[in-house]
């Protein structure tokens, strides 16, 4: 599935706006429901979120609910659903 990063939106907000449902709950970086693997690309957080340990970040785990793309990305989200189909 492909989607475009919306201006001033998190990855989660951008996906939802384009009818792609990613797992989520709190939408503030703490519950870890949206946690997924970044396979390629770069993301940024506006602040240091408590939902990931240093080790998880080093392993490539991200929180799409509070992350913004800095480049084209490949993320591994097995439970994503394309609502347009």
| DSSP element (H, E) containing 15 | helix 11-17
Predicted pLDDT at 85: 78
Q: What is the CATH number of domain 11-82?
A: 3.10.20.30
Q: What is the pLDDT of residues 35-78, one digit of tens each?
A: 999 999 999 998 887 789 999 999 999 999 999 999 999 999 99
Instruction: Report pLDDT for 48.
Output: 80
Q: Which two tokens stand for residue 81?
A: 């659903």
Calpha distance 65→52 (Å, rounded): 12
pLDDT band at 13 (very low <50, low <70, confident <90, very high): very high
Confirm if 60 and 38 have CB atoms less than 8 A apart. yes
Is the pLDDT higher at 1 or at 69? 69
pTM for this model (two decimals)? 0.90
């Amino acid at each position: 599935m492909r989607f475009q990063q919306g201006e001033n939106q998190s990855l989660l907000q951008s996906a939802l706006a384009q009818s792609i449902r990613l797992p989520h709950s709190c939408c503030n970086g703490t519950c870890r429901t949206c946690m997924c693997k970044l396979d390629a690309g770069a993301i940024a957080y506006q602040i240091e979120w408590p939902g990931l340990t240093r080790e998880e970040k080093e392993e490539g785990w991200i929180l799409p609910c509070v992350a913004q793309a800095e480049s084209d990305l490949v993320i591994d989200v097995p439970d994503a659903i394309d609502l347009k189909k």
